[in-house]
Amino acid sequence: MTARQTDIVIIGGGLGGLTLAALLGQAGLVIAVVDPHKPAPFKKTENTGRTVALMQASVNILKSTGIWKSLEPLSTPMEMMRIIDDSDARKEPIEIEFPASDIGMEQFSYNIPNGHLRAALYERIEKLKNVNFIESTFSDYAVDGGGIVVNLEDGATIKARLLVGADGRNSAVREFSGIQSTVKKYDQSAITCLINHSRSHNNTSTEFHRMNGPMALVPLPGNQSSVVWVEKTKTADALTRLKKQEFQQALQDKTNNVLGGITLEHGPECWPLCTIKAKAITAQRVALIAEAAHVMSPITAQGLNLSLRDVATLAESIIDAARLGVDIGSGNVLKAYEKRRHIDIETRVFGVDTMNKIVSTDLLGLKRLRRAGLKSLDTLSPLKTLAMQIGLAPQIDESRLAKGEKL
Ligand SMILES: Cc1cc2nc3c(=O)[nH]c(=O)nc-3n(C[C@H](O)[C@H](O)[C@H](O)COP(=O)(O)OP(=O)(O)OC[C@H]3O[C@@H](n4cnc5c(N)ncnc54)[C@H](O)[C@@H]3O)c2cc1C
pLDDT digits (tens, 9 = 90+) for 264-276: 999 899 999 999 9
Please check whether residues 316 and 375 belong to one and the same domain.
Answer: yes
pLDDT of 359 higher than 70: no
Q: What is the pLDDT of residue 166?
A: 98
| 197 Cα: distance to centroid of ligand 1 (angstroms) | 28
Please check whether residues 123 and 202 belong to one and the same domain.
Answer: no
Q: What is the pLDDT of residue 372?
A: 64
Q: Which of 271, 294, 327 is the last residue of a domain?
A: 271
Which ligand 1 atom is the nearest neighbour of the CA of 305? 11
Question: How far is Cα 339 from Cα 284, in angstroms, rounded to an integer?
Answer: 15
Q: What is the pLDDT of residue 394?
A: 60
Is the shortest distance between the CB of 190 and ligand 1 below 6 Å? yes
Question: How far is Cα 229 from Cα 49, in angstroms, rounded to an integer?
Answer: 12
Q: What is the pLDDT of residue 379?
A: 57
Question: How far is Cα 280 from Cα 173, in angstroms, rounded to an integer?
Answer: 13
Ramachandran class of 50: left when φ > 0, alpha when ψ lies in -120 to 50, beta otherwise: beta
Is the shortest distance between the CB of 139 and ligand 1 below 6 Å? no
Please report, in angstroms and rounded to a whole number, the separation of the first and last CA atoms in the chain: 36
Question: How far is Cα 7 from Cα 148, in angstroms, rounded to an integer?
Answer: 10
| 350 Cα: distance to centroid of ligand 1 (angstroms) | 19
Alpha carbon of 270 to those of 190, 233, 322, 386: distances in Å?
6, 9, 42, 34
Please check whether residues 41 and 147 belong to one and the same domain.
Answer: yes
Arithmetic mean of pLDDT over the chain: 90
Alpha carbon of 302 to those of 65, 72, 181, 184: distances in Å?
21, 20, 19, 17
Q: Which amino acid is at 78?
A: M
Residues linked to residue 159 through DSSP beta bridges, in sequence order: 5, 149
Residue nearest to atom 52 of ligand 1 (CA): 298
Q: What is the pLDDT of residue 282?
A: 98
Is the shortest distance between the CB of 166 and ligand 1 below 6 Å? yes
Going by their DSSP bridges, the two strands 131-134 and 76-78 should be labelled as unpaired
Is the shortest distance between the CB of 52 and ligand 1 below 6 Å? yes
For 407, half-sphere exposure in the C-beta direction (CA atoms, 13 angstrom radius) is: 26
Q: Which amino acid is at 31?
A: I
Q: Which of 271, 300, 331 is the last residue of a domain?
A: 271
Does residue 396 fall inside a structural domain? no
Going by their DSSP bridges, the two strands 224-232 and 215-220 should be labelled as antiparallel
| 186 Cα: distance to centroid of ligand 1 (angstroms) | 18
Report pLDDT digits (tens) over 285-332.
999 999 999 999 887 788 999 999 999 999 999 999 999 999 999 999
Indicate which CATH number applies to the domain containing 243: 3.30.9.10
Please check whether residues 199 and 153 belong to one and the same domain.
Answer: no
Does residue 406 fall inside a structural domain? no
Report pLDDT digits (tens) over 39-93.
988 888 888 879 999 999 999 999 999 999 999 999 999 999 998 888 777 777 8
Residue nearest to atom 27 of ligand 1 (CA): 168
Report pLDDT digits (tens) over 216-238.
999 999 999 999 999 999 999 99
Please check whether residues 226 and 341 belong to one and the same domain.
Answer: no
Order of all β-strands in the sheet with 162-165: 131-134, 31-34, 8-11, 162-165, 286-288, 282-283
Please check whether residues 27 and 143 belong to one and the same domain.
Answer: yes
| 168 Cα: distance to centroid of ligand 1 (angstroms) | 6
Does residue 21 fall inside a structural domain? yes
Residue of 291, 300, 310, 311 to mutate, ligand 1, most atoms within 8 A of C-beta: 291
Indicate which CATH number applies to the domain containing 47: 3.50.50.60
pLDDT of 367 higher than 80: no
Please check whether residues 358 and 369 belong to one and the same domain.
Answer: yes
pLDDT of 185 higher than 80: yes
The distance between the two most distant Cα atoms of the chain, rounded to a whole number of Å, is 71
Question: How far is Cα 67 from Cα 133, in angstroms, rounded to an integer?
Answer: 18
Q: Where are the alpha helices (DSSP H) in 275-363?
A: 303-323, 331-360
Is the shortest distance between the CB of 207 and ligand 1 below 6 Å? no
Cα Rg of the chain, angstroms: 22
Please check whether residues 305 and 350 belong to one and the same domain.
Answer: yes
Residue nearest to atom 35 of ligand 1 (CA): 12
Band of pLDDT at residue 239, cut at 50, 70 and 90:
very high
Does residue 214 fall inside a structural domain? yes
The alpha carbon torsion through 31, 134, 13, 286 (nearest 10 deg) reads -50
C-beta separation of 138 from 155 below 8 A:
no
Q: At what angle do helices 233-240 and 244-254 cross, to 10 degrees?
A: 130
Give the domain extent around 263: 77-100+186-271
Is the shortest distance between the CB of 137 and ligand 1 below 6 Å? yes
| 291 Cα: distance to centroid of ligand 1 (angstroms) | 6
Is the shortest distance between the CB of 304 and ligand 1 below 6 Å? yes
Is the shortest distance between the CB of 271 and ligand 1 below 6 Å? yes
Taking residues 121-126, report their average pLDDT: 98
Closest CA to 103 of 376, 352, 302, 387: 387
| 208 Cα: distance to centroid of ligand 1 (angstroms) | 25
Does residue 109 fall inside a structural domain? no
Is the shortest distance between the CB of 122 and ligand 1 below 6 Å? no
Please check whether residues 144 and 82 belong to one and the same domain.
Answer: no
DSSP H or E segment with residue 131: strand 131-134
Q: What is the pLDDT of residue 371?
A: 64
C-beta separation of 207 from 370 below 8 A:
no
C-beta separation of 406 from 22 below 8 A:
no
Please check whether residues 194 and 321 belong to one and the same domain.
Answer: no
Residue nearest to atom 31 of ligand 1 (CA): 14
Ramachandran class of 184: left when φ > 0, alpha when ψ lies in -120 to 50, beta otherwise: beta
Taking residues 16-45, report their average pLDDT: 95
Does residue 179 fall inside a structural domain? yes
State the total domains in the chain: 2
pLDDT of 378 higher than 80: no
pTM comes to 0.93
Please check whether residues 202 and 318 belong to one and the same domain.
Answer: no
pLDDT of 384 higher than 80: no
Going by their DSSP bridges, the two strands 157-160 and 147-152 should be labelled as antiparallel
Please check whether residues 345 and 196 belong to one and the same domain.
Answer: no
Which ligand 1 atom is the nearest neighbour of the CA of 295? 19
Residue nearest to atom 17 of ligand 1 (CA): 304
Residue nearest to atom 51 of ligand 1 (CA): 298
Is the shortest distance between the CB of 214 and ligand 1 below 6 Å? no
| 104 Cα: distance to centroid of ligand 1 (angstroms) | 31
| 342 Cα: distance to centroid of ligand 1 (angstroms) | 20
Residues linked to residue 76 through DSSP beta bridges, in sequence order: 111
pLDDT of 241 higher than 60: yes
Which ligand 1 atom is the nearest neighbour of the CA of 171? 38
Q: What is the pLDDT of residue 393?
A: 62
Q: Which of 271, 300, 322 is the last residue of a domain?
A: 271
